[in-house]
Amino acid sequence: MRIFEIILLIISTFFPFYISTRNYRLNKKTVLILIICILILHLVLEGYRWQMFPSYLIILILVWCLYKEHNFFKGRWIRKIVSGITFIIVMLFGWAMPYILPVFDLPATTGKYNIGSQYIHLKTNQEEFITSKAGDKRELNIKIWYPAIINNDEKEPYLNEGERLGFASKYGLPKSTFNYLDNVKTNTYNSPSVAKGNFPVLIFSHGYYSNASGYYALIEEIVSHGYIVININHTYESTGSLFSNGEIKLYNKVYDREHNNKEMAEMIWNATENYKKATNPKEQFNAVENLIRNYIAAEITIRWSKDISLVIDELEKWNNSSFLAEHINTSKIGVFGHSQGGSAAGQALLDDKRIKAGINIDGVQWGPMIDTIMTKPFALITSEWDNSHPNLNVHAYHNGSSSDFYNSKILNSGHSNFMDIPLMINLQFINEAGTINPNRVYKLTTEIVLQFFDMYLLDTPSNLLDLKTKYPELEIELMEKNQ
């Protein structure tokens, strides 16, 4: 919480009791002016947000009581008890809401570059399978994060209108719910000039039904070290895409109901139950083999891999005639992603020869990987899954790799720890993060990502295994190569 929010909460919690006591001696008009000044300073310097409404309400009642020189709690004892209980309930919400949904600080970046971003509306000739409209073609909203030169440029707001609307729609909340995010200061500037140089490219794929650019804590740090990150918004399968023409395309719930259906639920159930009954690795593999190949997520993995290749198809053109002209090193392309996007990253590494290396961040590797061998540098970063969760990746990657393959785990972390969610929602059982400090996970993850791509895109000598001594919560191994 911010300083004036805390002051207002303290005033609204204790002053109603204080001005109702016989020992109250302060000049009420002086206190009235002081409280009004603090409220104004809060609104001007920090900005209004709805989470503070309970405190605002108590402050307004308190101001009225001071102006009229009334006690806050007055009347017979029954009325005082009812008023007191109501007050306590209001103030519990008053303290809880700003704490649970804070105006948070993104981690400061440590690289030498400032960060800029711009959007590209990519129209393709690929058929759009998710909508039922005949002739509909696949369109992608691409956010480009890049090293920048800053000249009186303004920082961009945290999440655009489409992402905020989609996030609100996902949880059935009013459109204005996330307006308070205007108070979150990003490290990214809106459409500045690209810094001098020729930069390697990392293509990022988000998690399923999540905010496509809700990964500021990771992406800003990576870009500050001299990478262009192309952040794909997978249309109809993120929370929302805002296109340059103002159109917003939200997550397609109709398609989800039709395809993520009873058959898929039964497939998961049967595989999980058979996995629990398995007594050896072979029986475990047999239990989940069909699931890994044919679950709906395998179809999504293949489709998103094609999205990644569609973006790579554009790089030469963007490097010749766009704001990125002569700044893209088209020979140094990596891919990484989170959750479903991590699976897509692994699949794209198989599908597209132009990609040199890839990272799967806490994603199950659905689809064809189970039938092949990895031939390019690859890293798997996972959270600490519950022991009851079948380790599908052991079987998805069972054929191993003929190249460097790193398998790592961050202890005490959860699936959302790689997103900004633990910063946005400060309550563990809601945000699905682990017990580890969120900033610790961001720092560790970005170090792995940067060292990995520095090695395999920029040929910078490094040893990822050395990170174990720096981070006790990291388990990491270099898998034995399968020749």
Hey, where are the domains in the chain? 3-100, 114-478
Q: One-letter amino acid identity for 36?
A: I
Per-residue confidence (pLDDT) for residue 26, from 0 to 100: 65
Q: What is the mean pLDDT of each run of 10 residues along the chain (483 residues)?
A: 92 84 71 91 91 93 84 78 89 92 95 97 92 86 97 94 92 89 95 96 97 96 98 96 93 92 94 93 94 96 96 96 95 98 97 97 96 96 87 94 96 96 89 93 98 97 94 95 78
Picking from 208, 216, 128, the residue whose alpha carbon sits closest to that of residue 170 is: 208
Tell me the Cα Rg of the chain.
26
User: Which residue, among 218, 481, 198, 205, has the nearest Cα to 324 in the 3D structure?
Assistant: 198
Beta carbons of 213 and 163 less than 8 angstroms apart: yes
CATH superfamily, domain at 114-478:
Alpha/Beta hydrolase fold, catalytic domain (3.40.50.1820)
Q: DSSP E strands: which ranges in 130-261?
A: 137-149, 188-190, 193-194, 199-205, 228-233, 240-242, 248-250
Determine the pLDDT at residue 387.
Answer: 77
Task: Classify residue 21 by its DSSP letter.
Answer: S
* Long-range contacts, 87-93 (Cβ 8 Å, 24+): 87/16, 87/58, 90/54, 90/57, 90/58, 91/12, 91/13, 91/54, 91/55, 91/58, 93/54
pTM strictly above 0.85: yes
What are the backbone dihedrals phi and psi of residue 205, each rounded to the nearest 5 degrees, phi first? -120, 125
Outline where DSSP puts E strands in 34-136. 114-127
Q: Are 70 and 109 in contact (CB under 8 A)?
A: no
**E strand map for 258-363:** 328-338, 357-361
Separation CA 396–CA 474 (nearest Å): 22
The two tokens of residue 114 are 């400032």
Which residue, chain included where needed, has tokens 């990150």?
229
